[in-house]
Copies of this chain bind each other. A is one copy, B any other.
């Protein structure tokens, strides 16, 4: 693992900026931090501070060059090259993820999918063939270092353990369980209920 000098909080916001900028790049060439702030609901001084981490500074009266910012953020996030990811768990959630149209925008390729259900193994969803979970060990050879966990809660930790053993370096976990992994493996958990928990504040 390389040396990380950007705070986790900034790494959390960079994809939010990137997403907004990718939308904006269809219509505009430049944007001020204030207008970007309005567009993505992060305050503008925070945006300027985050951008300063990778040396992006706007031109007074003109703002930031959107395409240049996109390149800089992608480079910073290690998204300039495309990444292959594996999905584990081809149930309802896993099937929805395989059909999700948004991965290509960030250069991701869901290159493999696994399940332990003989009825699912061998089937294809969105051109990805479901493989037997016992084939996880092939991931390293196939240069797949990211994985998405979409298995039932009780199977989440053992799935994470198997992924770590298979050389995976980053895990996106959709189970509501808090899974543990060695420090060298980054785990991000998406808790759907936790996201919903932000809404009542505003109503």
Contact = CB atoms under 8 A, between A and B. Distances in A.
Interface of A: 1, 4, 6-9, 11-12, 14-16, 18-19, 23, 41-43, 46, 76-79, 83, 85, 91-93, 95-97, 99-103, 105-106, 108, 145-146, 148, 150, 153, 169-172, 176, 178, 186, 188, 190-203
B198 A77 contact: yes
13 contacts: A4-B201, A6-B201, A11-B201, A14-B198, A15-B197, A78-B200, A79-B200, A85-B196, A96-B96, A100-B176, A170-B202, A188-B195, A188-B198
A contact face: mostly helix, strand, loop, or mixed = mixed
Contacts of A191: 19, 102
Nearest to A6: B201
B92 A193 contact: no
Contacts of A97: 192
A7 B13 CA distance: 15
A172 B191 CA distance: 13
B101 A170 contact: no
Contacts of A11: 198, 201-202
Nearest to A202: B186
- Nearest 8 pairs between A and B by C-beta? A170-B199, A93-B96, A186-B202, A102-B176, A169-B203, A102-B193, A92-B96, A78-B200
B108 A196 contact: yes
Contacts of A188: 195, 198-199
Contact of A203 (B146, B153, B193): B146
A102 B203 contact: no
Contacts of A99: 92
